[in-house]
Amino acid sequence: MSSRLTLVVNPSSGKGRALELLPQVAGRLRDSGNELEILLSRDFAEARTMTDYAVDSGADVLVVMGGDGMMHLGVNSCARNGSVDKPQTTLGMIPAGTGNDLCRGIGLDPGDALAAAETIARGHTRLIDLARIHDRYVGAVVASGFDALVNRRANEMPWPRGSMRYPLATLAELRVFSPLPYRLTIDGVVRELQAMLVAVGNTSSYGGGMKICPNADPTDGLLDVTIIHPVGGMKLLRLLPQMYSGRFARDACVEQLRAREITVDGPGLVGFGDGEMIGAAPLRITSVPQAIPVLAPLD
């Protein structure tokens, strides 16, 4: 039986890669016998309106195409609009940005938009957990501390475009960064400490494949928490490349644990989720098991 799909695209994602790939992606989705509506967004606010429209208008599947910002919008539109008397819209994801970490986290190849379209066409659905912060949902990782400051600096940089912003922002932030005071409440237990960062993951990676929470599983009902305790700037710089393999977690300065809920607080702390600004601390982050259905590869 055919499904009604609404595809919301950020045409500027990946330096225009999304727009270039759109005809092939759309063709594959239509070839599977589905009814397809395509919406091209001009900015983030319009994309949010479009993803909400898709869900409110009764689309069977909301497909978002772009980077992690688009995936974040899709996650939130699907999570907020489920109800007892209305079937929940399924989320499909087409990676076409520079990070693509949520796609990576559910088993999609972050560099292959056409393979993702094929996954959507095949129609294999599974439920994934989300992290909830106040009225926002995060599919991948909530960052605070050094990583959040790098994210903010990178977002504010007019040049260069693409993934090169993050290494440059990292080097710039290292020059002025010092450990931050945290007050963490982890499943009701309070801890006060200083740390370079505290990351809370529903999936394993952020920043284009940095496995900050290497063992995170978006189907286990738990959040993975990574704490990097105070180290010098050069030590942190040496650890950063190891995040792409997860090897950094073997270092003595790294602590990892799991929780159902964690509150992150501290003076001046800000949170980023899926690469988007969430807001200032305190951040109460709760696992929401089996929150939304997504179209994902077979295990």
pLDDT digits (tens, 9 = 90+) for 57-71: 999 999 999 999 999
Output b/e per residue, 140-173; b: 16+ Cβ within 10 A.
bbbbbbbbbbbbebbeeeeeeeeeebbeebbeeb
What mean pLDDT comes out for the span 82-95?
80
How is residue 251 written in tokens? 């270092």
Lowest mean pLDDT segment, chosen from 64-68, 140-144, 163-167, 247-251 = 163-167
Delineate the domains of the chain, giving CATH numbers in brackets.
4-123 (3.40.50.10330), 141-289 (2.60.200.40)
pLDDT digits (tens, 9 = 90+) for 215-243: 999 999 999 999 999 998 889 889 988 99
Q: How confident is the model at residue 162 (pLDDT cuts 50, 70, 90)?
A: low
What mean pLDDT comes out for the span 5-29?
90
pLDDT digits (tens, 9 = 90+) for 166-213: 777 777 777 777 899 999 999 999 999 999 999 999 999 998 899 999
What's the pLDDT score for residue 163? 60
What mean pLDDT comes out for the span 293-298?
94
SS (H, E, C) 172-204: HHHCCCCCEEEEEEECCEEEEEEECEEEEECCC
Residue 158 has pLDDT above 70, yes or no: no
Asked whether the beta carbons of 54 and 25 are under 8 A apart, the reply is no
Percent of residues, the chain, with pLDDT higher than 70? 94
How is residue 101 written in tokens? 């970490």
Lowest mean pLDDT segment, chosen from 14-18, 27-31, 153-157, 196-200 = 153-157
What's the pLDDT score for residue 2? 72
Q: How confident is the model at residue 27 (pLDDT cuts 50, 70, 90)?
A: very high
Q: Which secondary structure element, helix H or strand E, spans residue 270, and what is its range?
A: strand 270-273
First vs last C-alpha separation in the chain: 23
Q: In this structure, what are the phi and psi dihedrals at residue 29, rounded to the nearest 5 degrees?
A: -65, -40
pTM of the shown model: 0.92
CA 137, 101, 264, 220: dihedral to nearest 10 degrees?
70
Q: Which secondary structure element, helix H or strand E, spans residue 117, and what is its range?
A: helix 113-122
